[in-house]
Structure 1
Amino acid sequence: MKRFSLVGMVRKSSVETLLDMHNLSITKSNYLIEARYKLPVQAQKLILACLGKIDPRHEIPKEITMTGSEFSELMGIDIKNSHRELYKAADKLYQSDILIYENGEEIELSWVQEKAKKLKGEAAVRLVWSDRVLRYISQIRGNFTSYKLRNIAELQSSHSIRIYELLMRFADTGDREIFLDDFKSILGISNKYPEFKVLNRDVIKLAVKELNQRSNLVINCTPIKRGRTVEKLRFDFKQNNQLKMDI
């Protein structure tokens, strides 16, 4: 799997940049894929853009720098606003925690060790990963999920990104069942949408629609009931590697 440094990307032609983006991959430990957290979409995209710059087969430096230009190119963000979105996303990471379940243990950790350094003269930020997060993104040998960055770059919903990752963990089978309570917990909405019809309308259907339009997945979601109560969600999906239009 080809990986490269993005240093100097902004000096490349648009064709070269597009080709480079098509080679970038995201790799996460499945513990991180299934973790409980809630982040705004730009903060999620900052994490993914950073992960696209690294090779998880090797030890990853604790510090990583992301420029506004890189953020714009990688994640489909307007270049005029990219540095402001970058700064806001970095601040959100510092304020957010993750809940991970590993080997029967509940682990609460932070994405970054300290508040991001804003390199305003360079329109960039420097992030310092927390030690515990590094375990789930560095030197991964097994129990992980990988996908192409380009397949989620145009998504505008944080829920869509999380659902995409949850499904890609089961890319080999093309289906996944998940308890509704677990689904809501992973998306960070356990205390919201007590009525399934509202959750279905405002979260599930909107995310599935966006994923069908803007990602490489074709998805169908079916509620599974126990009696009159929805207990699980079943996602059936397949990959469509043709570029979809933003509609």
Structure 2
Amino acid sequence: MSNLSVSKSNNLIDASYKLNAQAQKLVLACLGKVDSRPNKDVPKEISLTASEFSEMMGIDIKNAHRELYKAADSLFKSSIILRDDREEIELCWIQKKVKKIKGEGAVTLTWSDDVLKYICQLQSRFTTYKLKNIAHLQSSHSIRVYELLMRFNATGERFIYLNDFKSALGISDKYPQYKDLSKRVIKPAIEELNLRSDLIIEFETIKKGRSVVALSFEFRKNTQLKMDI
């Protein structure tokens, strides 16, 4: 499996979006091909073959073509919301529908101008991790939780308000009851990450009165990678 690293702007890490697992892996695989060293131009268009997708993400080559095209279709229909203290803006990931090069089993992706701006800022504020560490994750929530934690990899701790957590996963309008959020999102994601990623994660809830208002994560590297599951 590929040992490529992906660098992702911290603004994109904490942004609000919902992509299925394969569409997230398509974005990450494309970012993995970007040279994030200073003074390197980031291409507006980037191509990815099914064989590259298979190698980077550990996908059976027989299924890689189908998964790549499905991911491309999903990405075209998705947007990303960036927030700061002053405004909230919604952007398209890509400028136009992904070009499928069927004879070659490949796609060509054209970043939108706004998203490209954040990709170009990778050298100033970014989070880097190995693609192989998320390749076996099957849940889109698990991938997003992994990224949220890896932004604080230096400390191994992250505190995040529940509303911000739900927003980052693109589920602000779902699971108003914490017990449902925990059962359907948080616990399954943590269980999968502990099983299939390079992290060992624990978390606890922070309450205000009887209501859960935040999550506190502690995580560390697992030296025994569980990549053959």
Q: TM-score band, normalised by the shorter chain?
A: over 0.9
Aligned length in residues: 227
Q: Given the alignment, which residue of 191, 200, 204 partners 1:222?
A: 204
Q: Given the alignment, which residue of 8, 13, 16 partners 1:36?
A: 16
SS at match of 2:120: coil
Which ranges of 4 or more aligned residues in structure 1 deviate by more than 3 Å? none
Gap regions ≥5 residues in structure 1: 1-17
In structure 2, relative to structure 1, the CA distance for the partners of 1:28 and 1:245 (3 Å cut) is closer
Partner amino acid for 1:53?
K
CA RMSD, 1 decimal? 1.3
Higher relative contact order (CA 8 A, sep 6+): 2
Q: TM-score scaled by structure 1? A: 0.88
Alignment of 1:31-180 (within 5 A): 31-57=11-37, 58-102=40-84, 104-180=86-162
Paired residues of 1:31 and 1:102 also in contact (CA < 8 A): no
Aligned to 1:27: 7
Gap regions ≥5 residues in structure 2: none
CA distance in structure 2 between the aligned counterparts of 1:149 and 1:207, rounded to whole angstroms? 17
Partner amino acid for 2:34?
I
SS at match of 1:99: strand
Paired residues of 1:100 and 1:108 also in contact (CA < 8 A): yes
Displacement of 1:104 in angstroms is 2.8
Partner amino acid for 2:28?
L
Displacement of 1:79 in angstroms is 1.5
CA distance in structure 1 between the aligned counterparts of 2:88 and 2:177, rounded to whole angstroms? 28
**Percent identity over the alignment?**
63
Paired residues of 2:205 and 2:214 also in contact (CA < 8 A): yes
